[in-house]
Copies of this chain bind each other. A is one copy, B any other.
Amino acid sequence: MNPLYLLDKVRVVLSHPSHPGNIGATARAMKTMGLSSLYLVNPRTFPDKDAEARAAGAWDILNDAKVCANLDEALSGTVLAAAITARPRDLSHEVFDARRGAHELLDHACQHPVALVFGTEMSGLTTMEVSKCQIVVHIPANSEYSSLNLASAVQIMAYELRMALPELRSLSPVANIAADFNDMELLYRHLERVAISSGFLDPREPKRFMQRMRRLFARARLEKEEVNLLRGMLSALEKGIQSPQQTQNLE
């Protein structure tokens, strides 16, 4: 297998990009390194002349860009999504630097799509957006001025992905089938429902319980079969607590 093929499996997801010029520059940055799959979540303006101008010939990527209504749609079917940040985060996921993150992504790309997720220009990714990703990838930067341009951040990640290719010689695809984004979202919903019906989680004051669960399971990179096992147990529990809790819950 030609290792360049792996780059086709890498989605670049821009969440709420506000400057169309950055979308064009992103397409160009991607194409120089051999990436091709661009997803735009709620772009302020697209298509746009500025985007075309800055794409400098990478128009195929702009034309094929998928415009999505929300991040879930853009991540549908992926087995690993990396939230890209230039600042360290509180309650962070497993954190990789750009180089190690690129390797981690390619390791998973042999099986199914993976994604790089970039936040909006002014404020980056929201906590909710980060929580939909399984890892955080940190681009090392000047702590006194970490204001990386959006397309420049894409350029660095695309470059690291390309640099990570030749070292794939020893790449042994994981034998088990990874759970994808959709499997995981269903698991989280199920877990939350059971936590609430058990009385453990108060939906009026959820604190950060689900965030913590997402962080934990994101680290584990679940397999499809593991998700099925967990959900099987959750269903049995749900059934078990249905009768005695019903009256209490309805109070």
A residues engaging B (CB < 8 A)? 25, 28-29, 31-34, 56-58, 86, 92, 95-99, 138-142, 145-149, 151-152, 155-156, 159, 162-163, 168-171, 174, 194-195, 197-201, 209, 212-213, 216-217, 219-222, 225-226, 229, 232-233, 235-237, 239-245
Contacts and interface: CB of A to CB of B under 8 A. Distances in A.
A124 to B, nearest CB: 14
B145 A31 contact: yes
A200 B29 contact: no
A232 B32 CA distance: 49
Contacts of A213: 229
10 contacts: A31-B142, A32-B145, A57-B147, A99-B163, A198-B236, A212-B229, A219-B219, A220-B220, A240-B245, A244-B244
Interface SS of A by simple majority: helix
Contacts of A240: 197-199, 237, 240-241, 244-245
Contact of A95 (B95, B171, B197, B222): B171
Nearest to A215: B226
